[in-house]
Amino acid sequence: MPAKTYFTIALPLLALFLFSGSSTPAGDPAAAEYRFHEPDRGWVARALKKMTLREKVAQLVKIRVPGRFLNRRSPEYLEIEDQIRRNGIGGVILFAGNVYESALLLNNLQAASDIPLLVSADFERGASFRIADTTSFPWTMALGAAGSDEFAYQQGAITAREARALGVHWIFAPVVDVNNNPDNPVINIRSFGEDPALVARLGAAFIRGARDRGVMTTAKHFPGHGDTAVDSHIGLAVIPSDRARLDAVELVPFKSAIDAGVDSIMTAHVAVPQVTAEPGVPATLSPKILTDLLRDSLGFGGLIVTDAMEMGGITTKFWTGLAAIRALQAGADMLLLPPDNDVAINEVVRAVQRGDIPQDRIDRSVERVLMIKTRLRLHKERMVPIDRIDDVVASPESRKLAQEMAEGSMTLLRDRQQLLPLDVINPPRIYSLVLSSDLDASPGATFQAEMRARFPAVRTASLDPRTPEDLVSGIVKNASEAELVVIATIVRVVSGKGNVALPPNQQAVIERILAAGKPVVWVAFGNPYILSLFPQLPTYMCTFSYSDVSQSAAAKALAGEIAIGGRMPVSIPGHSSVGEGLAVARRNMTLGVPSREKAELWATAFQATRSMLESHVRDGAFPGAALIVGYKGEMVLEAYAGRFDYDAGSPAVTGDTVYDLASLSKVIGTTSAAMMLAESGRLLLATPVQDYLPEFKGENKDRVRVEHLLRHASGLPAWGALYRESRNREDFLGKVYAIPLEYEPGTRMVYSDFGMILLGEIIERASAASLDRLVAARLFGPLGMTSTLYNPPRALLPRIPPTEDDPWRRRVVRGEVHDENAAAMGGVAGHAGLFGSARDLTRFAQMMLNRGIYDHVRVFKQETVDRYTGNTVGSAGNQALGWRKPSAANWTGAVFSPSAYGHTGFTGTSLWIDPQRQAFILLLSNRVHPTRQNQKIDEVRRGISESVMRVLSTQQGTPGR
């Protein structure tokens, strides 16, 4: 076998063996991080000595490789391999692709090279700039809007870790151009902003973060590409600055980058005629820029690398061979992407041979490159362990931080009608339109999905330049019928495109929509300068990015889920200045606490209610009780009276006292679980119960629907002492299945524990989870209800009052369910078993008032809450789905509005929620202690509720939230 063939096969196998137990993993956060090492000068000297002139020149060339799968015998792969084997090029630049394909390809290419390859990539906003499924960061200008050094540092650090995990050693980032030209078609949101000090500060922080994780960094594009209106991918851009202006503006971030230890500086294909006196010569080919200014004046000793030599800023005036020679003569160390590698290498070799480039000039650059390879330990370990990638790339911690960066960048420039944040509880009819300046199958898909998650009734649409007129007319019509229109524009920065503008046909569509006079909220994804097209816009928010995290952040900002606090990192001439931005607080969707002044007013207003609660304790209605009233998003009454029992030394009741909730379990636990499963399609209310419970057999039972169980209209009796005869849960359920119906299903409403017991079993079968675990994971956990649970552990016992001195169990029951049937079922049942504290349950109550959302965590869809708590069509009695409704037959009809809903519990608990009045009343007690013969609870509930509602009705002028 030829030696080189053996080397190609053996090296990957050897690397796999070595890395399978390596103590220096690539990017593994749990082990040693990547870091720079002292250069191995001996290896560098030996390598240089062995190289021919052509091999040395080839070390200064980088070629393009895709980050996608390539068959080893494909023409594309063979061409890349040929450049590595035959020419011995020094490195490759990774372009668009995927995670594992990139790593595998780079490992294969490393194996094909005698000298380790230096792998680079344009990871300007993290690896996601090129590689899918890596941590998605917002664009650079978004970091400028957030203004956080820590964000910039962390983005650099995470980018470095993911780069090294993929096999990338050198990132062409950060962009430190000062974007002070609004018409710049190629830099734009790739820059931190137009303030040189801001760009310098954040650029240096990024560099420090990346270098701390062992990745080479690049400050680009020297001497500055921000003040141009020409894309250097297409033609030669001109910077109108003299040296004084460069020192004051463009060079400020580069000086800061050098101080921060930046490893390389990339040249710009821009002319600086006031400095070079050569209007047709780009900086890349100018010794006055690269040597006199960068090396000598600024004292940069690192690697100088050209921008892509295939770009129009070079190729329109200089042929490949001459451009390569001129770049090296100017002071560049590495040539990126020559249009023809062989031509570039050949001509540089000829230039050295004829004395146009000194031999030692080539040697110095090659030595710099080889030194870097040893500092990265590539001469020791050039492969990356594939099996560790999934522990590093796109980690939950990295994704969370990236999302926080995007959220911190949201910048509200205008909100003249004070539209933000939008009301997510009772939202207007919203029409959300996304316009993309490029052809796009589903522009703004993440934004629209996030909008639908927060505003379920929102109508969405999208436009790109090819949208036909008939669809455009429909969009304009739909927008005119909405109560509020959200217009989001995605104007991308694309190399070689030549502009960052909104197409004229889309501008015309927007004019037609604005003419309808509806309130408009404009979200600028990407290019922030388009406000100048529509200066009349009353509400304008910039994200400076169109990455998915920025789209998500924008929807959160509109909904008030996050505060808006970004500041403009650029000016929009005639409309805004650097540093502007309105502050909008996060919308409070919890149960808040009134201000001190308001709290004093409420305390006075509820004095009679507090006295009433205390008098009920004295009268023996219960040993103690907790009463909390929520009103317009605030806890306006928090009253606790009495003790756990009638012993004077027992603990006093507090908001953290955990009570047996009894039949409140039916609505808080079982009905909530039914709502969740109905939303997911696992629970079908119109389906026969027998479809879920075939054991439920008997006359007319085939006619019982799941909905009948929720409406207490199943035909089942109210209650029975099955616990006396049941051996275990299954035996108990068997007895419930066998109970005969007492009336035709759907014809009457008879409140039944047995119906809810069956519903609990259906929920467990439909979800493949026990009822207690289901609601803990899906309801109580997300709401932060840490003291609401079935079968409380013994550690919670000191917070739980006793219930009854139970004749069946022959002891005082405490910390175990009071209901005997629920006890026979093991403490978890559809009709009883929950324990909870007053403070916990206020979260649930406020969530229901918020129509399914609490602290911006959506638990139920709005329509689900409305359906389950509203008047059920065709229902008999005062019954919604699970919940009770106010009735003219008792006191509730006179106290609560028709929209109210509530429930009571046998142990002395109750919860009534009144959406019309934006209020809830929660009362917890253990009135069955020591005996259930105490029947004063109905009088208590009525008196307390009437007292509370009198106060609320007379305090309408008291501010809510």
Q: What is the 3-state secondary structure (H, E, C) of 334-368?
A: EEECCCCHHHHHHHHHHHHHCCCCCHHHHHHHHHH
Question: How many CB atoms are closer than 10 A to CB 840?
Answer: 21
d(CA 312, CA 237): 10
Predicted pLDDT at 503: 81
Predicted pLDDT at 468: 81
Phi, psi of 433 (to 5 degrees): -120, 130
Asked whether 569 and 578 are in contact (CB, 8 A), the reply is yes
Asked whether 739 and 717 are in contact (CB, 8 A), the reply is yes
Planar angle of CA 398, 399, 404, nearest 5 degrees = 100
When pLDDT is cut at 50, 70 and 90, the band that residue 60 belongs to is very high
Predicted pLDDT at 438: 78
When pLDDT is cut at 50, 70 and 90, the band that residue 229 belongs to is confident
**What single string gives the DSSP state of each residue in 97-113?**
E-HHHHHHHHHHHHHH-
Asked whether 94 and 86 are in contact (CB, 8 A), the reply is no
3-state helix, strand, coil split of the chain in percent (to 5) is: 40, 15, 40
Closest to 204 (Cα-Cα) out of 192, 222, 186: 192
User: At which residue do the structure tokens 């289901």 appear?
Assistant: 774
Asked whether 434 and 569 are in contact (CB, 8 A), the reply is no
Q: Mean pLDDT throughout 198-213? A: 98
pLDDT tens digits, one per residue of 800-839? 999 999 999 999 999 999 999 999 999 999 999 999 999 9
pLDDT tens digits, one per residue of 429-454? 999 999 988 777 788 999 999 999 99
Cis peptide before 221 (omega within 30 of 0): yes
Predicted pLDDT at 370: 98
Q: Mean pLDDT throughout 281-295? A: 97
Strand 430-436 with 459-463, pairing? parallel
When pLDDT is cut at 50, 70 and 90, the band that residue 470 belongs to is confident
pLDDT tens digits, one per residue of 80-123? 999 999 999 999 999 999 999 999 999 999 999 999 999 999 99
Asked whether 465 and 567 are in contact (CB, 8 A), the reply is no
User: At which residue do the structure tokens 């000194």 appear?
Assistant: 358
User: At which residue do the structure tokens 């309105």 appear?
Assistant: 582
When pLDDT is cut at 50, 70 and 90, the band that residue 496 belongs to is low
Coil, strand or helix: which one is 747? coil
pLDDT tens digits, one per residue of 592-637? 999 999 999 999 999 999 999 999 999 999 999 999 999 999 999 9
Question: How many CB atoms are closer than 10 A to CB 854?
Answer: 23
698 Cβ contact partners less than 8 Å away, ≥ 6 residues apart: 738, 739, 740, 741
Question: Would the pLDDT of 25 be above 70?
Answer: no
pLDDT tens digits, one per residue of 529-583? 999 999 999 999 999 999 999 999 999 999 999 999 999 999 999 999 999 999 9
Lowest-confidence region among 7-21, 67-81, 504-518 = 7-21
pLDDT tens digits, one per residue of 870-903? 975 444 458 999 999 999 999 999 999 999 999 9
d(CA 762, CA 677): 10
d(CA 892, CA 904): 12
Asked whether 931 and 804 are in contact (CB, 8 A), the reply is yes
Question: Would the pLDDT of 497 be above 60?
Answer: no
Asked whether 367 and 143 are in contact (CB, 8 A), the reply is no
- Which amino acid does the sequence have at 245? R
Of 28, 122, 195, 307, the active-site residue reads 307
Q: Mean pLDDT throughout 416-441? A: 92
Q: Any bridge partners for residue 524, and if so which? A: 489, 542
What is the edge-to-edge ordering of all strands in the sheet holding 459-463? 411-415, 539-542, 520-526, 484-491, 430-436, 459-463
Tokens of 670: 């079982």
Tokens of 369: 């490159």
DSSP state, residue 639: E
Asked whether 27 and 161 are in contact (CB, 8 A), the reply is yes
Predicted pLDDT at 14: 31
Length of the chain: 961
Of residues 9 and 556, more confidence is placed in 556
d(CA 116, CA 100): 20
If residue 823 lies in a helix (H) or strand (E), which one and from where to where? helix 820-824
Q: How high is the mean pLDDT of the chain? A: 93
Q: Mean pLDDT throughout 853-882? A: 85
- Which amino acid does the sequence have at 82? D
Cis peptide before 421 (omega within 30 of 0): yes
Instruction: Give the distance from CA 330 to its chain's centroid.
Output: 46
Predicted pLDDT at 871: 72
Closest to 307 (Cα-Cα) out of 271, 344, 250, 268: 268
d(CA 727, CA 739): 17
Question: How many CB atoms are closer than 10 A to CB 610?
Answer: 17
Packing angle of the helix pair 196-212, 149-166 (nearest 10 deg): 40
Burial degree of 274 (CB within 10 A; 0-12, 13-18, 19+)? middle
Predicted pLDDT at 528: 94
Predicted pLDDT at 500: 55
When pLDDT is cut at 50, 70 and 90, the band that residue 504 belongs to is confident
Q: Mean pLDDT throughout 384-411? A: 97
pLDDT tens digits, one per residue of 757-806? 999 999 999 999 999 999 999 999 999 999 999 999 999 999 999 999 99
Phi, psi of 679 (to 5 degrees): -65, -35
Coil, strand or helix: which one is 120? strand
Burial degree of 859 (CB within 10 A; 0-12, 13-18, 19+)? buried
Question: Would the pLDDT of 849 be above 50?
Answer: yes
**Is residue 360 annotated as a catalytic residue, yes or no?**
no
d(CA 953, CA 961): 17
How far does the chain reach from its first CA to its final CA, in angstroms?
Answer: 81
- Which amino acid does the sequence have at 634? E
Burial degree of 650 (CB within 10 A; 0-12, 13-18, 19+)? middle
Asked whether 803 and 926 are in contact (CB, 8 A), the reply is yes
Asked whether 153 and 102 are in contact (CB, 8 A), the reply is no
Predicted pLDDT at 27: 39
d(CA 439, CA 770): 49
Instruction: Give the distance from CA 507 to its chain's centroid.
Output: 31
Predicted pLDDT at 251: 98
If residue 463 lies in a helix (H) or strand (E), which one and from where to where? strand 459-463
Of 169, 221, 225, 233, the active-site residue reads 233
Predicted pLDDT at 2: 36
Predicted pLDDT at 440: 75
If residue 57 lies in a helix (H) or strand (E), which one and from where to where? helix 53-58
Question: Would the pLDDT of 20 be above 90?
Answer: no
Question: Would the pLDDT of 683 be above 80?
Answer: yes
Instruction: Report the percent of the chain where pLDDT is more than 70.
Output: 94
Asked whether 574 and 438 are in contact (CB, 8 A), the reply is no
User: At which residue do the structure tokens 């390539």 appear?
Assistant: 70
Asked whether 94 and 65 are in contact (CB, 8 A), the reply is yes
Question: Would the pLDDT of 720 be above 60?
Answer: yes
Q: Any bridge partners for residue 237, and if so which? A: 270
Half-sphere exposure of 450 (CA within 13 A, CB side): 20
Question: Would the pLDDT of 10 be above 50?
Answer: no
Contacts 24+ apart (CB under 8 A), 548-551: 548/136, 548/446, 549/136, 549/137, 549/138, 549/402, 549/403, 549/405, 549/406, 550/138, 550/139, 550/142, 550/406, 550/409, 550/525, 551/444, 551/446, 551/447, 551/450, 551/525
DSSP state, residue 660: E
Coil, strand or helix: which one is 263? coil
Predicted pLDDT at 809: 94
Predicted pLDDT at 5: 34
When pLDDT is cut at 50, 70 and 90, the band that residue 147 belongs to is very high
Tokens of 382: 């050039």
Predicted pLDDT at 467: 76
Compute the CA torsion angle 212, 218, 219, 224 (nearest 10 deg).
-170
Compute the CA torsion angle 590, 596, 598, 604 (nearest 10 deg).
120
**Is residue 307 annotated as a catalytic residue, yes or no?**
yes
